Amino acid sequence: MTSTTDATATTGRPGGPSTGPAGATPGTPPGSAPPDDIDTEQVGMPPRTLSERLASAGWTALSAVLLIALWQVVSMRVGSTVLPRPIQSIGAIGDAIEAGYLWSDMRITAVRIAGAFALALSLAITFGVTLGMSKLATKLFGNWVTIAASIPSLLYIVIAYLWVGLNDRAAIIGGALVVLPTITFNIWQGMKSLDPELSEMSRAFGVNRRTTIAKVLLPQTLPFIFAASRLGLALTWKIMIFVELLGRSSGVGYRIQYWYNLFNMERVLAAAIPFILVMLTLEFAVLRPLERHLFRWKREESR
């Protein structure tokens, strides 16, 4: 017999006059009213009110003020040659801007970080996904990740400079190598959390393999690839300063080393703080809101 989808589809009301005697069941026909188990009150996300936002911003500001106050107190206790006052540091940053090297330093370092991060992430996704998909790969190369993670960072950097030369390419490769094992490991572990039940559902509904990969598997990998990227970016920035300090004559890391050799604490801070602020801005203003938006479906998962 042919299905009567059309009858229900157009009316949305089984049990209507046209559907015959069978549809005349006592009780609520489906679709006529929300059933009791649908508790409309709890549906949806709680709205974030203005006062909640303000309160949250207030706490952030307070915590920042406390940190600066602590800095001030400590520098007053230990003396400004050991730890310059906050106000002195701001002055030193002004001097650095005037001298003209602050922006170029930051730009150079940012480019190196971006290069190393992009290289590390693309390799980590390749390796991590391969390890996660193939048992053979896990048996053969699983331990390599552990071995790679146990090698001291310094060794990667030195080897990169020795093999490639004292240039930016070596800096990017060295930085990428240091963070690669950690990101790979995170993505590999994330692959284990893929839900085989969803793939089975996809198969049961006759969805083809390509669509299943694109629309069922890939979206499941995004949260942990995103988390691994955030971790990777933070690690890359820290290690890049070190890479520059070891073998480059430009960038934030070089500048820190330069002023360190002159024992100028003020200028060391002045070189580091602006870039720390850039990374913090990236984290708070870009990455966190982006993560909140991308993975908004995750919230209230516990319900």
Partner 1 sequence: MSATLRFDEVSRRFRTKTRNVHALDRVTLEIRPLEFTALVGPSGCGKSTLLNIAAGLDTGYEGTFTLEPADADRAYLFQSHRLLPWRTAQANVSFVLEARGLGRSEARATARRYLALVGLAGCEDQFPAHLSGGMRQRVALARALAVDPALMLMDEPFSALDEITAQRMRGELLDIHEIEPRTVLFVTHNLAEACYLADRVIVMASNPGRIVADVTIEVPRPRDHEDLRLAEYQRELSHSLFHHSSPTGTQTAPTTTDQPATGPSDTTGDTHHATL
Q: Interface with partner 1 includes 12 (CB under 8 A)?
A: yes
**Cα→Cα distances 232→18, 125, 186, 227, Å:** 63, 12, 10, 8
Q: How many CA atoms lie within 13 A of 27 on its CB side?
A: 5
Residues in contact with partner 1, counted by CB under 8 A, come to a total of 55
**Residue span binding partner 1 (CB under 8 A) among the ranges 20-28, 74-82, 157-165, 228-236:** 20-28
Burial of 270 (0-12, 13-18, 19+ CB in 10 A): buried
Q: How far is the CB of 289 from partner 1 (least distance, A)?
A: 18
**Cα→Cα distances 269→23, 92, 255, 256, 283, Å:** 78, 8, 10, 8, 21
Q: Interface with partner 1 includes 293 (CB under 8 A)?
A: no
Q: How far is the CB of 290 from partner 1 (least distance, A)?
A: 15
Q: Interface with partner 1 includes 31 (CB under 8 A)?
A: yes
Phi, psi of 73 (to 5 degrees): -60, -45
Q: How far is the CB of 46 from partner 1 (least distance, A)?
A: 10
Beta carbons of 83 and 74 less than 8 angstroms apart: yes
Q: Identify the residue among 159, 164, 198, 282 touching partner 1 (CB under 8 A).
A: 198
**Cα→Cα distances 104→99, 101, 111, 282, Å:** 11, 5, 11, 19
**Structure tokens of 9?**
């589809």
Q: Identify the residue among 123, 158, 164, 216 touching partner 1 (CB under 8 A).
A: 216
Binding mask 219-248 for partner 1 (x = CB under 8 A): x-----------------------------
Q: Identify the residue among 122, 155, 193, 200 touching partner 1 (CB under 8 A).
A: 200
Instruction: Residue 23: count other Cβ atoms within 10 Å of its Cβ.
Output: 15
Helix or strand holding residue 138 (H, E): helix 135-150
Q: Interface with partner 1 includes 5 (CB under 8 A)?
A: yes
Binding mask 37-66 for partner 1 (x = CB under 8 A): xxxx-xxxx---------------------
Q: Interface with partner 1 includes 25 (CB under 8 A)?
A: yes
Binding mask 112-151 for partner 1 (x = CB under 8 A): ----------------------------------------
**Cα→Cα distances 229→3, 11, 123, 149, Å:** 50, 49, 12, 17
Q: Identify the residue among 36, 77, 98, 192 touching partner 1 (CB under 8 A).
A: 36
Tell me the C-alpha distance between 202 and 194, whole Å.
13
Q: How far is the CB of 122 from partner 1 (least distance, A)?
A: 23
The footprint of partner 1 (CB under 8 A) covers: 1-5, 7-9, 12, 14-15, 19, 22-23, 25-27, 29-31, 33-40, 42-45, 197-198, 200-208, 211, 215-216, 219, 295-301, 303
